[in-house]
Amino acid sequence: MLPVLENLALDLADNGILTITVNRPSKLNALSFATLDDLTQAMQLAQDDQRVRGIIFTGAGEKAFVAGADIAELAQLDESQARRAAERGQQVFCLIEESTKPVIAAVNGFALGGGCELAMACHFRIASENARFGQPEVNLGLIPGYGGTQRLTQLIGKGKALELMMTADMIKADEALRLGLVNYVVPQAELLDFTRQLLSRILTKAPLAVGLVIDSVNAYFDKERHGYQTEANCFARCCLSDDFHEGTQAFLEKRPAAFTGK
C-alpha cells in the first residue's frame, strides 16, 4: 500500500514503474516546503520498496510540470532561514540524482525555477512540445538555490547556463533539446507513454549495473570522488554479481537474460 501524500500522487504499475506526480495544479504545481517533505518521503519509499524498479516524475494537469518554488513562502525568509531552505532543497534533489533506480522527468509544461531544478535532478528528461524551461530567479532578486547553478552548467555548459540564469529567459522544448537539456521532445498526448516505454527498456537491463552506471557518472561531478577509480570499483563489483554471470551466460547461449539485481 502506497502512502497518501498531500502534494504528490503516487502510482505503482505492475512492471515496477513508480509515477510521482506533483499534484498542486491550482498553484501550477509550485514546490512548497511541504512538497519538498513529500518528495523526500516518496524517494525514501522508492528506494526501500523492492517493488519499485524505476521512477517517473511529472506534474498534474497540462500547463505545468512544476512552475517554480512557492514565492509566498520564500518572501518570508530571513538569511538563516533562506540558507537552510536552499540546503534542504539541495538535499532532496540529491536523493533523486543519487537514486540507484533510474529516474526520468516527463516534463509536461512549465519547468521553471525549482521545477527546472527538479527536472535536472532526474537522470534525464523527456519534454512535451509545450514544455518551457528556465531559471528566472534573478527577476525576484534571487539565484537558483536547489542546485540549479550547478546542474544547468553541467548539462548545457557554462556560457549558455550563465546566459539563461542572468537573463531569466525561458526556452522552448526544441531549444532545450538542441542544448542537451532534454533527451527527447514528443507530443504532450504521447509524453507519459513514451517515457514509460523508454524506462521499460532500461528495466530489462541488469539493475545492479544500471545503478552503478548512475553512481559512476555522478562521480565525475563530485570533487570528493575520483571518477575513474569509482568506475573501476563499480566494474569490479559488477563482475562479482549474479547478474554478470547470468548476462554473460545468456549471451553465450543466445537467449534473453533473466536478471535479479544481485
> What mean pLDDT do residues 174-203 have?
98
Domain ranges of the chain: 8-202, 207-252
> What mean pLDDT do residues 50-73 have?
95
Cα(106)–Cα(92) distance, integer angstroms:
18
Q: What mean pLDDT is reported for the chain?
A: 96
pLDDT above 90: residue 88: yes
Query: Which amino acid appears at position 246 of this protein?
Result: E
Please pick, among 117, 190, 224, 253, the residue that the annotation labels catalytic. 117
pLDDT at 223: 86
For residue 125, what is the enclosing H or E element?
strand 124-128
Would you say the pTM of this structure is higher than 0.75?
yes
| Residue 117 a catalytic site member | yes
19/62: higher pLDDT: 19
The CATH superfamily of 8-202 is 2-enoyl-CoA Hydratase; Chain A, domain 1 (3.90.226.10)
Structure-block grid coordinates of residue 163: 546566459
| Residue 137 a catalytic site member | yes
pLDDT at 206: 97
Q: Is 178 helix (H, G, I), strand (E, B) or coil?
A: helix
**pLDDT tens column, 7-17:** 999 999 999 99
pLDDT above 90: residue 47: yes
Phi, psi (rounded to 5 degrees) for 251: -60, -45
Cα(113)–Cα(71) distance, integer angstroms:
11
pLDDT above 90: residue 77: yes
Q: What is the band of 120 on the pLDDT scale with cuts at 50, 70, 90?
A: very high
Strand partners, 10: 20
pLDDT above 90: residue 1: no
Please pick, among 137, 163, 190, 246, the residue that the annotation labels catalytic. 137
